[in-house]
Amino acid sequence: MNRLLVYLGRLTLILFGFIFAALGASAFLHVLILGALPFTGEELAFAAGGLIVSVPFLALIVGNIGFLPAMIAILIAEFIGRRDWLYFALAGGACGLAASWLTSFHTEFDHSLDPTTATLALGATGMVGGLCYWLVAGRSSGAWIEGAIDKG
């Protein structure tokens, strides 16, 4: 029963880490988009009010698109016990690039945006998401495996 609670606790922490990563990646993508638009100070303040709604909404989309690559990276980290921030930053960047590759089959890109720029932006967004995941759950990856070893 005690091991079951450890597993449920770890799965809950992974879920909260993934949610936090999706929100962080969404917020970073908003910063990239708002920085690229030619807004004045007053217009930017007006547009920033909509972030309360658009950041969580885009986090749903980011989480949906990046779920499979992120879960593969999280499972690798859990089973080999990777806890360093660099692994999660690079894995997040790879997940962002994979998401860019996966969505290129289903969407028609706006031709005013360079596809290379969009791919690099999604890679950087994935890195931020990976670091957000590391802050919540990645620092203790594989801790449940160490607890399974009897040191008595």
Give per-residue pLDDT as tens, 82-139: 999 999 999 999 999 998 888 775 556 555 677 788 889 999 999 999 999 999 999 9
pLDDT value of residue 146: 63
Cα gap 135→65, rounded to integer Å: 21
Concatenated DSSP letters of 80-112: HT---HHHHHHHHHHHHHHHHHHHTTT-PPPTT
- The answer to whether the CB of 3 falls within 8 A of the CB of 137 is no
19 CB-contact burial (10 Å; exposed 0-12 / middle 13-18 / buried 19+): middle
Q: State the sign of the Cα–Cα–Cα–Cα dihedral 10, 16, 20, 22.
A: positive
pLDDT value of residue 147: 55
Query: Average pLDDT, whole number, for the chain?
Result: 88
Give per-residue pLDDT as tens, 69-78: 999 999 999 9
pLDDT value of residue 152: 38
Give per-residue pLDDT as tens, 53-64: 999 999 999 999
Give per-residue pLDDT as tens, 140-152: 998 888 654 444 3
**Phi, psi torsion values for 97, nearest 5 degrees:** -70, -40
Concatenated DSSP letters of 32-60: HHHHHS---HHHHHHHHTTHHHHHHHHHH
Q: How crowded is residue 28: how many other Cβ atoms within 10 Å of its Cβ?
A: 21
pLDDT value of residue 143: 85
